[in-house]
Amino acid sequence: MGIGYRIFVRPMLRFQDSEKAHSRALKMLRLLSSNILSRPVLSLLYKPRKLLPIECFGTTYKHPFGNAAGLDKRAEALRGWDALGLSFIEIGGVTEHEQDGNPKPRMFRASTSKALVNRMGFNHPGSQKVALTLERHFSTTGPPTVPLWANLGKSKRTELELAPSDYAASMDRLWKFCDVFVINVSSPNTPNLRELQHDDALESIVQACQKINRKYADSTNSKPKPLLVKIAPDLNDVQLKAVVQTARDAGCDGIVATNTTIERPSSYPANEEKVFSQTGGMSGSPLTTRSTSMIHKIYAMTDGKWPIVGVGGISTAEEAWEKIGAGATLIQAYSGFVFEGASITKSIVHGLDKKLREHGFATLNEAVGFSHRDTS
């Protein structure tokens, strides 16, 4: 779909509501991957032919690239993401309670700048319904062939002081289906959610989720599942250091850096003023440098001993390589899928394979954090 998508499909998106276009694309992916004839075609066209195995969270991922949260909130197209060759699939943000999210329109596209602004507000059917969806999927077609991640968000109606039980309830319902859990305390579109990134609030949420984690690990005689925290790119250095320290001390196994930003580019085409003046979180190319800088700082703060999942403005192998050099072990994209199409996975994986050989690294694990090393 690469060149064809950019020439024919992407220009047509300008004339569609962004959220409706997203829903249609997701439905198409689900339908194509459900058909016994079209599913192999998806894999033939878009699945990477290269394997770039990388160790993270005690698991060998076939390459470092997966989708970011928000692309498949309800776990509607698991077979589709699998067919496209992702190394892991993230669903959500999942909330404990069903909620509509913020009023529409709430997603806006700046095509020239390759940016999205959204204020979705965790629109979601609730974790109980998603658990039933996963139950049906697993019983009829089996689990995905790659790790399934769940991004957990707080329900809007839940008071901040009750947030730990809200996150824990969703984890409780999804534990048997998902392999990795991400605590999302950084979306800018739920009132006061980012206050939960700090100190006792974050510690309480992590501890509540780890209690669920240990309960099921003990009852199934298995290991607890990796628990990560997803942070905002708008933290200053003092705040970032405090969040990292709190999350590590509370028992988080890693960090996702970063969510969308409330900042806007310093310059952009005049015809995109309407997009960038909207309230909400911005993702895409204008976020690339900021998120990479955050990854670099976290890697330095933790001496490279705490896994980082890099996300924010990745649409090319070069941008993915920069994230890995800054310290990311795994990487994700959201806007990249919107602006580059389904071919992004193959493009990035094949490009990373070339980068690995060019720089003389034997494995991707060896390359992680290379920008911190003295190469003189």
Strands (DSSP E) found in 220-345: 227-231, 254-257, 281-284, 308-311, 330-333
Do 278 and 346 meet the contact criterion of CB atoms below 8 Å apart? no
Based on the residue annotation, tell me whether 187 is a catalytic residue of this protein. Answer: yes
Residue 153: closest CA among 98, 105, 215: 98
Do 115 and 274 meet the contact criterion of CB atoms below 8 Å apart? no
DSSP 173-200: HHTTT-SEEEEE---TTSTTGGGGGSHH
Residue 245: closest CA among 208, 293, 211, 200: 200
CA distance 101 to 259: 18
DSSP state of 261: B
Strands (DSSP E) found in the chain: 54-56, 59-61, 65-67, 89-94, 107-110, 115-118, 148-152, 180-184, 227-231, 254-257, 281-284, 308-311, 330-333
DSSP 123-143: -B--HHHHHHHHHHHHHHH-S
DSSP state of 68: P
Do 335 and 283 meet the contact criterion of CB atoms below 8 Å apart? yes
**Alpha carbon 123 to chain centroid, angstroms:** 16
State which H helix or E strand residue 288 sits in: helix 288-301
| Catalytic annotation, pick one of 127, 155, 187, 335 | 187
CA distance 237 to 38: 48
Q: How many CB atoms lie within 10 A of CB 129?
A: 15
CA distance 346 to 52: 12
- Residues designated catalytic: 187
